[in-house]
Chains A and B, each alone.
Chain A
Amino acid sequence: MPHYWIPNSSPTIKKQLADALGINDVSELFSDVPKELIVNRELDIGLGRSLSELEVKRYFKRLMSKNKVFNDPPPFTGGGICAHYVPAVVGSIISRNEFYTAYTPYQPEVSQGILQALFEYESLIAELYGVDVVNASMYNGSTAAAEALRMAVRVNKRKKVLIPSNVNPEVYEVINTWFLGTGVTINRVGYDRLTGCVDINELEVKLKGGDVSSVYVETPNYFGCIEVYLKELVELTHKYDALVVVNALPISLGVLEAPGVLGADIVVGDAQSLGLGMNFGGPSAGILGISDERMINQLPGRLIGATLDVNGRLAYTMILQAREQHIRRERATSNITTNSSLMAIASAVYLSLLGSEGIKELGESILLRTYYAIRKLSSINGVEVPVFPDGKHFREVTVAFKVESYDELHRGLLKRGILGGKYVGREFPELGEACIMCFTELHSKSDIDVLTSSIEGLLGGS
Chain B
Amino acid sequence: MWRQANWDEELLFKLSMYGKPTFYFGGNEFAEVVGDVEDLLPKKVVRSKPPQIPNLSEVEVVRHFIRLSQMGYGVDLGPVPLGSCTMKYNPKLLEELAGNEGLRDLHPYQDESTVQGVLEVMYLLQKWLAELVGMDECCLQPPAGASGEFAGALMIKKYHLDRGEVFRDELLVPDNAHGSNPASAAMAGFKVIKIPTSESGEVDIDALRSVLSSRTAGIMLTNPNTLGIFESRIGEIADEVHRAGGLLYYDGANLNGILGVVRPGDMGFDIVHLNIHKTFGAPHGGGGPGAGVICAKGELVDYLPIPTVGFDGVKYFLNYGKKKSIGRVSQFYGNIIPLVKAFLYMLTLGPNVREVAEVAVLNTNYFIKLISGVRGISIPYGKGKFRKHEVVLSFEDLLRDTGVNAEDIAKALIDRGVYAPTIYFPLIVNEAHMVEFTESESRENIEMYAELYRSIVEDAYKDPAKLKKCPENTSVGRLDLGLANHPLTRTPTFKFLSRLGRKSMIR
Contact = CB atoms under 8 A, between A and B. Distances in A.
Interface string B108-120: 1111011111101
Nearest to A285: B289
A177 B286 contact: no
A87 B23 contact: yes
A99 B333 contact: no
5 contacts: A103-B74, A110-B72, A142-B331, A281-B336, A339-B288
Interface string B96-140: 010111111111111101111110110000001001100000000
Contact of A95 (B40, B95, B481): B95
Interface stretch (A53-61, A210-218, A451-459): A53-61
Contacts of B337: 279, 282-283
A176 B146 CA distance: 18
Contacts of B75: 101-102
B106 A279 contact: yes
A309 interface: yes
A298 interface: no
Interface stretch (A127-135, A234-242, A396-404): A127-135
Nearest to A129: B51
B157 interface: yes
Given A358-B23, A359-B53, A313 B507 contact: yes
Interface string A295-327: 010000011111111111111010110001111
B112 to A, nearest CB: 11
Given A21-B365, A120-B12, A257 B183 contact: no
| Nearest 4 A/B pairs, CB to CB | A281-B332, A101-B74, A342-B285, A341-B287
A65 B62 contact: no
A117 B120 CA distance: 36
B441 interface: yes
A352 B53 contact: yes
Task: Name the residue among B13, B118, B154, B477 with the largest chain A CB count within 10 angstroms.
Answer: B477
A47 interface: yes
Contacts of A155: none
Residue among A33, A107, A124, A324 facing the most chain B CB atoms (10 A cut-off): A107
Nearest to B62: A89
Contact of A355 (B22, B186, B285): B22
Interface in A123-158: 123-124, 126-128, 132-134, 136-137, 139-143, 150
A170 interface: yes
Interface stretch (A159-167, A200-208, A360-368): A360-368
Given A176-B327, A392-B42, A99 B74 contact: yes
A69 interface: yes
A340 B74 CA distance: 16
Interface string B378-399: 0000000110100000000000
B414 interface: yes
Interface string B140-165: 00011111011000100110010000
| Interface size class, chain A | 35 or more
Interface string A67-101: 11111000101011101011101011101111111
A69 B475 CA distance: 43
Given A17-B362, A46-B128, A127-B51, 17 more contacts: A21-B365, A39-B354, A43-B132, A46-B349, A89-B61, A93-B69, A97-B77, A98-B70, A102-B73, A170-B328, A226-B41, A303-B492, A311-B476, A357-B22, A367-B37, A371-B30, A392-B42
A375 B35 CA distance: 12
B321 interface: no
B144 A101 contact: no
Contacts of A383: none
A369 B30 CA distance: 6
| A103, A257, A354 interface centre (most CB from chain B within 10 Å) | A103
Most chain B CB inside 10 Å of its own CB: which residue of A32, A137, A182, A372: A32
Nearest to A67: B117
A109 B347 contact: no
Contacts of A285: 289
Interface stretch (B241-249, B417-425, B456-464): B417-425
Contact of A337 (B180, B329, B443): B180
A415 B90 CA distance: 40
A330 B91 contact: no
A370 to B, nearest CB: 9
B283 to A, nearest CB: 5
B419 A110 contact: yes
B261 A341 contact: no
A304 B490 CA distance: 10
B368 to A, nearest CB: 9
Contacts of A140: 143, 330-331
B476 A353 contact: no
Nearest to B37: A364
B247 to A, nearest CB: 15
A70 B41 contact: no
Nearest to A376: B33
- Among A38, A49, A143, which residue has the most Cβ atoms of chain B within 10 A? A143
Given A109-B414, A352-B12, A253 B51 contact: yes
B47 A39 contact: no
A108 B143 contact: no
B108 to A, nearest CB: 3
Given A305-B490, A319-B490, A352-B56, A67 B475 contact: no
Contacts of A325: 146, 179-180, 182-183
A256 B50 CA distance: 10
Interface in A175-234: 176-178, 180-183, 226, 228, 230-231
Given A31-B386, A64-B100, A335-B180, A117 B359 contact: no
Interface centre among A26, A108, A150, A355, by most chain B C-beta atoms within 10 angstroms, is A355
A170 B108 CA distance: 12
Contacts of B322: none
A117 B109 CA distance: 32
Interface string B50-62: 1111111010011
B17 interface: no
B336 A345 contact: no
A33 B25 contact: no
Nearest to B475: A112
A122 B286 contact: no
Contacts of A392: 40-42, 45
B431 to A, nearest CB: 16
B143 A99 contact: no
Contacts of B144: 139, 336-339
Contacts of B71: 111-113, 116
A409 interface: no
Contact of A174 (B76, B182, B330): B330
A113 B45 contact: no
A195 to B, nearest CB: 11
B334 A282 contact: yes
A64 B117 CA distance: 5
Contacts of A123: 11-13, 493-495
A312 B503 contact: yes
Given A5-B440, A331-B186, A392-B40, A441 B154 contact: no
B58 A59 contact: no
B53 A137 contact: no
Contacts of B411: 107, 109
A162 B476 CA distance: 47
A6 B439 contact: yes
Given A9-B439, A75-B107, A335-B180, A101 B495 contact: no
Most chain A CB within 10 A, of B11, B22, B87, B145, is at B22
Nearest to B29: A445
Contacts of A311: 476-477
Given A8-B363, A98-B76, A280-B333, A332 B51 contact: no
A83 B19 CA distance: 29
